[in-house]
Structure 1
Amino acid sequence: MRPESAPTTPKGPPPPEIHLFEPSGYAGVFQHACRLGELLGRSGRRVVLHTGHEHETVRLDGVELCPCSWWPRHRDGGARRSAAIAGRYVTRTLPHLHSAVPPGAVLHVEGIAAAGALTLLALGVARLRGRTAVYSPHDTFSRRGRVDGALLRLALRVPHALIVYSQADVEVLRRRGLHARRSPLVQLVPHASKEQRLAWRAAWGAGPDTSVVLFAGCIRPEKRLDVLIESARHWPANRRLAVVGEDRGGWARCAELARTYGVDVAARVDFLDLPEFAAAISAADLVVLPYDKASQSGVLAVARQLGTPTAAANVGGLRELASQTFAPGDPHDLNRAIDAQLASGTAPDPSLDENQAVTVHLLAYGQPA
């Protein structure tokens, strides 16, 4: 009998290291970077995720976590907090990144938390110092005014490659004369147990015959929770509105609107760690995204992988993942979409080609897939 041959050691230099940079350490972009890191790590490359010092607790396979970014999760402080973040970024995080990321390695900047000037610094220094600079903006627009928007548009022209997560963003950048690769939006999606789902439905006061319509994620003015509250004025008695997510300046007006209209909202206005957030999405009958503007949505990606139907405003890349779409800002058309989806009883196809995501990223990095 022929003996088994010993495993051979690959010849040649190891593939270049991949360093992902998501500075905040929490919410959808961080959770995307975590899953992307796991998938890239399976290819045998060294993968490091540089992130916030107060990052969410995660257990990742094949990814080194480096909490080198000072990014406090509390929201108070206003301009002083922003100035402190920027100061430590320039004096500590940026020097660390460009000593920790060796020449020839990839530095992939993820997300909008470090948009504008900070993103421009990270990408510019990386490119000047011989790294492969890659940028995924996650939003191709800025929420911080004209100056930041101009800096973001400039930052989009600095890296060697751009990766986005919707065809809508590919088209937006093409109209600006930029080429971007499109990847599926991979996310960390923990399994929700039956007990977790029942706990959420009990907290919402939802019986077995109640349909829960959920708004999930940051409550910002442009995410238009008010449109969903307007639509809830005309719901049948067996339909329940629930809200989970952190207030980013949109909740006070919406809560007052709900009181004015007599709409009962089961709300938990707070940041939820991923397992609890995913369980809430899994427990809902429908997740609604009534946004005015969007590139894509981690909420939609998570809901799809959990098998929860969705209805989203027909803007940006939302239409590419939603079960139903409706005219933005129109509560009557939103009600049509809600009625149609709840009547259909269909669940979205949860499949996602994670291998395609790896291939797209490695090609953008200039590496063999």
Structure 2
Amino acid sequence: MRSLNIIEPGGQGGVYQSVLGGIQQGAYREYDRVVVHTAKDCEAAPEIDGVSYCFCMRYQRGGPHVFRAVVSLMWVMLRLIPHVIRVASTSQGWEVQGLFGKYVFVLLIAIPRLLRNKVTWVPHNSFSRAGGRLEVWAQRLSSRLCNELVVFVDSEAPKFPFAKAVIKRRLFMFTVDVSSQVRERWRLELESDLRPVILFVGQLRSDKNPRMLLEAVNGLDFACTLVFAGQDKGALDSIHAFRLASIHTLVVESRYLDISDFQGLMRISDLIVCPYAVASQSAVLALASQFGVSSIASDVGGLSEQADRVFELDSVDPVGRLRALISSSLEPKLTLLANGDEK
């Protein structure tokens, strides 16, 4: 019996949902048994043949940041790491997902390797968002330690020159059946039968260029609903401060959306835009492709390999180019609305 331990301690967000998506789409069909090691309060643990869950991570999700960080780290060192040592001493197949805990992921790779396990690492990002040298060093060390490294776009492979082997997979995201009630609630809130819906979804960060999208939409000569949805990571104030032209409707959902809400929102949108300044690849674009929703992205990282349409971020007029792509992408919806048809 071939078994694989997949460890993704976060239990929420894109990395965890990609683990479930890969399982859902048969990426691990070569294994007879897959054990997913994750957080007790993970956002989903679907019943899938041959898959079991080990809820070995606990988070302190509430309270001040320092308190949450200290309590969670104590669990990692006192419970999670000893657990990994015990399991790795009897199991041969490991896959470590993401950049958990900034530097903890190095231990999650090193421990199974020292115990003579084959370790696959799926980093998801090839850069340090904070720009820290220590984090870059940790990524480099991890790429040396693992037996093989997984990327999702061709442009990422050269960024791991120290890896023994680099393999490419398609990035699948976990999908759920969204109830008609959830879809109808979003449809009514966003008035998607009256105007096109443009969506910026995921963490609200300045490096994701939300202001560029606001400027591009502001110059459109037709009315639309522009939606920003996701946890605020420093960009919320600038979004609220922007004075969008009165013909448009701005909707801001500054919260973590559960899977049903997240995917229901994506499914009723007409266009998803990712004008990021820094990226490796995008779970949002992967989901857009799976749902058949049109997408636009900047040409950074591997986004050009995922999006339907791409604009050059360092062009003379990136806002104007983005605006033109938005306009042309929404022509089919505008035609339907002009003819009196619903989406």
- Asked whether the equivalents of residues 323 and 341 of structure 1 are also in contact (C-alpha less than 8 Å), the reply is no
- Asked whether the equivalents of residues 275 and 298 of structure 2 are also in contact (C-alpha less than 8 Å), the reply is yes
User: Does 2:84 match 1:97?
Assistant: yes
Aligned-residue offset at 1:224: 1.3
Which residue number in structure 1 is paired with residue 337 of structure 2? Answer: none
Q: State the secondary structure of the residue aligned to 2:95.
A: strand
User: Does 2:188 match 1:199?
Assistant: no
Which residue number in structure 2 is paired with residue 249 of structure 1? Answer: 234
What CA deviation, in whole Å up to 9, does each residue of 1:205-236 have, x standing for no partner?
33x24111100111122111111112121123
User: Does 2:157 match 1:186?
Assistant: no
- Asked whether the equivalents of residues 161 and 180 of structure 1 are also in contact (C-alpha less than 8 Å), the reply is yes
Per mean C-alpha deviation after superposition, the further-off stretch among 227-236 and 309-318 is 227-236
- Asked whether the equivalents of residues 86 and 118 of structure 1 are also in contact (C-alpha less than 8 Å), the reply is no
Taking structure 1 as reference, are residues 269 and 18 closer, same or farther at Cα in structure 2, changes over 3 Å only? same
- Asked whether the equivalents of residues 60 and 71 of structure 2 are also in contact (C-alpha less than 8 Å), the reply is no
User: Does 2:142 match 1:155?
Assistant: yes
Distance 2:173 2:292 in 1: 14
Which residue number in structure 2 is paired with residue 3 of structure 1? Answer: none
Give % identity. Answer: 26
Q: State the secondary structure of the residue aligned to 2:233.
A: coil
User: Does 2:154 match 1:173?
Assistant: no
Which residue number in structure 1 is paired with residue 205 of structure 2? Answer: 220
Displacement over 6 Å in runs of 4+ = 260-263
Aligned-residue offset at 1:314: 0.7
TM-score normalised to the size of structure 1?
0.82
Which residue number in structure 1 is paired with residue 133 of structure 2? Answer: 146
What CA deviation, in whole Å up to 9, does each residue of 1:317-357 have, x standing for no partner?
11111011112272212112211222366xxxxxxxxxxxx
Q: 1:304 aligns with which of 248, 271, 289?
A: 289
Taking structure 1 as reference, are residues 72 and 289 closer, same or farther at Cα in structure 2, changes over 3 Å only? farther
Aligned residues: 326
Which runs of 5 or more residues in structure 2 are unaligned? 334-343
- Asked whether the equivalents of residues 104 and 130 of structure 1 are also in contact (C-alpha less than 8 Å), the reply is no
Q: 2:323 aligns with which of 321, 335, 348?
A: 335
Which residue number in structure 1 is paired with residue 269 of structure 2? Answer: 284
Aligned-residue offset at 1:196: 3.3
Taking structure 1 as reference, are residues 297 and 49 closer, same or farther at Cα in structure 2, changes over 3 Å only? same
Q: 1:52 aligns with which of 26, 35, 39?
A: 39
Distance 2:211 2:66 in 1: 27
Per mean C-alpha deviation after superposition, the further-off stretch among 260-269 and 331-340 is 260-269
Taking structure 1 as reference, are residues 87 and 152 closer, same or farther at Cα in structure 2, changes over 3 Å only? farther
Per mean C-alpha deviation after superposition, the further-off stretch among 162-171 and 279-288 is 162-171
Q: State the secondary structure of the residue aligned to 1:156.
A: helix
Which residue number in structure 1 is paired with residue 55 of structure 2? Answer: 67
- Asked whether the equivalents of residues 50 and 68 of structure 1 are also in contact (C-alpha less than 8 Å), the reply is yes
The alignment yields a C-alpha RMSD, in angstroms, of 2.2
- Asked whether the equivalents of residues 214 and 287 of structure 1 are also in contact (C-alpha less than 8 Å), the reply is yes
Taking structure 1 as reference, are residues 67 and 111 closer, same or farther at Cα in structure 2, changes over 3 Å only? same
- Asked whether the equivalents of residues 136 and 162 of structure 1 are also in contact (C-alpha less than 8 Å), the reply is yes
- Asked whether the equivalents of residues 214 and 244 of structure 2 are also in contact (C-alpha less than 8 Å), the reply is no
- The AA in structure 2 aligned to 1:67 is F
Q: 1:114 aligns with which of 79, 101, 126?
A: 101
Which residue number in structure 2 is paired with residue 239 of structure 1? Answer: 224
Which residue number in structure 2 is paired with residue 210 of structure 1? Answer: 195
Aligned-residue offset at 1:308: 0.4
TM-score normalised to the size of structure 2?
0.88
Taking structure 1 as reference, are residues 269 and 246 closer, same or farther at Cα in structure 2, changes over 3 Å only? same
